[in-house]
Structure 1
Amino acid sequence: MNLRDEIETTLRSWHAYETGRGAVAVIDFDCAPTTEATTPATSRLAVYQRLTDLYAQATEAGADRLTARLTADLAYLGALLGEHPPLNDYVQATQGCPAAGWQDGYITHRGDQARQALAALGIQWGPDTARDLTGVEGPIETDEAPDAIRQAAADYETAVRQITGSTAPFNLTIEATEVDAYWSYWLDGAGDKVRLRLNLRRASFTKVAARQFALHEVLGHGLQGASWSARAAAEEVPWVRLMSVHAPQQVLLEGLAQALPLFVAPDDELLATRTKFDHYTQLVRAELHIALNHGASITELADHARFRMPWTADAAIADVLTDRGANPQLRSYLWAYPAGIDWFANLAEADSATRTTVLQAAYRDPLTPTDLAALWPTGPTIGGQGT
């Protein structure tokens, strides 16, 4: 068994241990599904020791891709075991980029872009912005959402395949669930089988949201995972074939999925407005993420959130802070959203050749922030240049 396969065996046993005790899954997309039974690990400590040994082997072998993945696994597992390293160290180890953040002037600039796009739709900036935007986007009934998402995915599939070069097949299943969690939509899968879950406790449905999440979840995450799986089935790839949200491919996944409308449907005014609005919102959440982890008081954080996002309810602010401060997985994973959308929103404004190079590479390999920066050396610093 080669080193990569040994790592995968360990991750599968860790995943079986966590899910067997009702804890959060370790593997979110399996690009090398197997029918072989997995023996759960005996404890988190046993997994930690095994990953440490594998890390030493990967370092000695000069296997940088494997070392980066094991660095993320060890950092996340260490956090599950009680470690609480400084935010920048933790995000660098897991997501593969710094948690530096963005300067006030840049965030304001992105906010001004969102304001202008909203104003063009007749929507004012204030307590009712989110509600009014939802109204303009065309609310639909919950039971209409799966068909609307499927139709939007079918409408956009050819365009996404053209810009990414992907020919991989995939089979989509859409399920409704009710979970007390931050997410409204969640996609996982194995090989060419993709599952989209709609969290009815959190999700609201509009015609624009159906188009947005067809791109984000189905043709972003789903087709990307299926594309990586197809390549992994055809050749011996040098990367771990099990995707986890605490690992450094997540900046690519969440970044491109959020910004995909800018590449595929730039003339869709409603979809572009939603993307600009989300970009600004993610940058503000990044401010809160950093400030919380640097000791700002809850009152200061809540006041700042209300100032930057006057449409946000206190319950939503509380969830943002809780997720980014107390949850080991989300303290890492949620940084992928601002870091990713900002880099890919900027990429959408780059020259055509650069866009094509990055997008086709992104559907071939689970790229890390280091990989992305190498493909576009003149692009912005992933994770921000500092507040």
Structure 2
Amino acid sequence: MRLRDEIEQTLRAWDAYEKARKASPVIDFDCAPTAAQVTAAPSRLDVHSTLTQLYKRAERDGDQVCAEQLRAHLAYLGALLGERPPLDDYLTATQGCSAAGWPEEYVTAVGERARAALADIGVSWDATTDRQLRDAEGPVEAADAPEMIRAAASEADPAVRALAETDAPYTLEITTVDVDAYWAYWLDGTGQDVQLRFNLRNATFTKVRLRQFALHEILGHALQSASYTATANRTDVPWPRLLSVHVPYQVLLEGIAQAMPLFVTPDDTAVTARVRLDHYLQLIRADLHRAINDGAPVADCADHARACVPFWTTDAIADILTDRGNDPQLRTYLWAYPAGIDWFVNLADTADTADTETVGKVFRAVYTQPSTPHQLTQLWPTGPRIGGPGTPLRLRKPSLP
């Protein structure tokens, strides 16, 4: 059997095993749906043994596309089995970039730009910023959210398709859940059939947030995944067609989704203010991600969070540290958000200096097939280093009243 197909067969069996024990699924989006019966793997150790053999075969055959993905799957599965490699090693294997981090002066400059964008829409920077944003953005009843997010996606759809040069169809189902998890919106699916879930515990339904997440979830994740399915249907692609959150293309997927408004609706000041704020918040989360994994005391991490983001609650800070410090999946996956948004926000800002050719080249490439940080760098060699240029981390203390 072809190596790619053996990898997919193994991932389906592993995914069935994890689902049977009510653990996090392995497959996030299936770009090659099949009606074949799937038998769950006997154990994680059996999966690890099979993936190891497949990795040796990929290395022997010089199949770097499959080898890179197998290396990520093995690193994540090893973490599920109890391994705890240093963060930099773990992220390099899974997300395809290091945990180098961003200099304090850079993070400060991003924060200043975020505060200026908020000030432009009448929102001040203090303990009430989050509440001010919700009030300013136009609260929406949960029952009205599905139709409004569909309408926002329909309005922006032609612009995204033109930029990415994709005509891939998809069908969208929207459901609501109430789960104790970090996410507010989540999209997954099979082929051209995608499902968007609103997590009522965390989702903020405002007119602005719905416009933002129409671009993020629907025209980012849904259209992009459907486009990969279309590519896989047209071409005998070399890459395994099952997407997972612990494999190196997540930097691309989460990065472009978060930054999408800067490319598509740059004149929507309320939505772009959200993107500028998210860019800063993700860089602070990256500080905490590095700190808690480097052994920094929890109290020092919490002080840094309070000093940098006055409106984060103690519960939110605790969740940030817990997710990034303890959970093998989130310890890798959540790094994709700061690494991705930073690269794509910088790419969007080059469009202001007329580098539209690079933007178009990137969009066309990444809506055709999943791309790793190394491949993104090849598309834009002069862009910033993904994962940060590297810097010692200095945790801040809150200012005295």
Q: Which amino acid aligns with 2:176?
A: A
Can you give the 5+ residue segments of structure 2 that lack an aligned partner in the other structure? 392-401
Q: Which amino acid aligns with 1:258?
A: Q
Q: CA deviation at 1:286?
A: 0.1
Q: CA deviation at 1:237?
A: 0.2
> Among residues 355, 374, 377, which one is paired with 2:378 in the alignment?
374
Q: Which amino acid aligns with 2:384?
A: P
> Among residues 352, 366, 373, which one is paired with 1:362 in the alignment?
366
Q: How does 1:64-79 map to 2 (within 5 A)?
A: 64-79=64-79
| Partner residue, 1:263 | 263
1:266-312 alpha-carbon deviations (Å, 9 max, x no partner)? 00000110000000000000000001111110100001000000000
2-side partners of 1:180 and 1:299: how far apart?
23
| Corresponding position: 1:251 with 2:255 | no
| Corresponding position: 1:126 with 2:104 | no
Q: CA deviation at 1:123?
A: 1.4
1:303-361 alpha-carbon deviations (Å, 9 max, x no partner)? 10000000000000000000000000000000000000000000002210000000110
| Partner residue, 1:43 | 43
2-side partners of 1:204 and 1:118: how far apart?
17
| Partner residue, 2:53 | 53
Q: Which amino acid aligns with 2:377?
A: A
2-side partners of 1:194 and 1:241: how far apart?
15
Which range moves more in the overlay, 338-347 or 133-142?
133-142
2-side partners of 1:59 and 1:139: how far apart?
53
What is the TM-score when the length of structure 2 is the normalising length? Answer: 0.96
| Partner residue, 2:398 | none
SS at match of 2:27: coil
| Structure 1 stretches of 4+ moved >6 Å | none
Q: How does 1:66-105 map to 2 (within 5 A)?
A: 66-105=66-105
Q: CA deviation at 1:201?
A: 1.3
| Corresponding position: 1:288 with 2:312 | no
| Partner residue, 1:195 | 195
Q: CA deviation at 1:130?
A: 1.2
1:156-175 alpha-carbon deviations (Å, 9 max, x no partner)? 10010011101100000000
| Corresponding position: 1:353 with 2:357 | yes
Q: Which amino acid aligns with 1:8?
A: E
Identity of aligned residues (%): 58
What is the TM-score when the length of structure 1 is the normalising length? Answer: 0.99
Can you give the 5+ residue segments of structure 1 that lack an aligned partner in the other structure? none
2-side partners of 1:117 and 1:43: how far apart?
50
1-side partners of 2:248 and 2:131: how far apart?
34
Q: Which amino acid aligns with 1:204?
A: T
| Partner residue, 1:3 | 3
| Partner residue, 1:385 | 389
| Corresponding position: 1:17 with 2:17 | yes
SS at match of 1:355: helix
2-side partners of 1:222 and 1:125: how far apart?
34
Q: CA deviation at 1:125?
A: 0.8
Q: CA deviation at 1:204?
A: 1.4
| Corresponding position: 1:162 with 2:162 | yes
2-side partners of 1:11 and 1:340: how far apart?
25
| Partner residue, 2:181 | 181
1:177-203 alpha-carbon deviations (Å, 9 max, x no partner)? 111111111000011001000001111
Q: How does 1:313-352 map to 2 (within 5 A)?
A: 313-350=313-350, 351-352=355-356
| Partner residue, 1:29 | 29
| Partner residue, 2:394 | none
2-side partners of 1:290 and 1:134: how far apart?
30
SS at match of 1:27: coil
Q: Which amino acid aligns with 1:3?
A: L
| Corresponding position: 1:204 with 2:213 | no
2-side partners of 1:121 and 1:182: how far apart?
27
1:59-92 alpha-carbon deviations (Å, 9 max, x no partner)? 0111111011001000000000000100000000
Q: Tell me the number of residue pairs that the alignment of Structure 1 and Structure 2 aligns.
A: 387
1-side partners of 2:89 and 2:242: how far apart?
23
Q: How does 1:196-235 map to 2 (within 5 A)?
A: 196-235=196-235
SS at match of 2:349: coil
Q: Which amino acid aligns with 1:358?
A: V
Q: Which amino acid aligns with 1:374?
A: Q
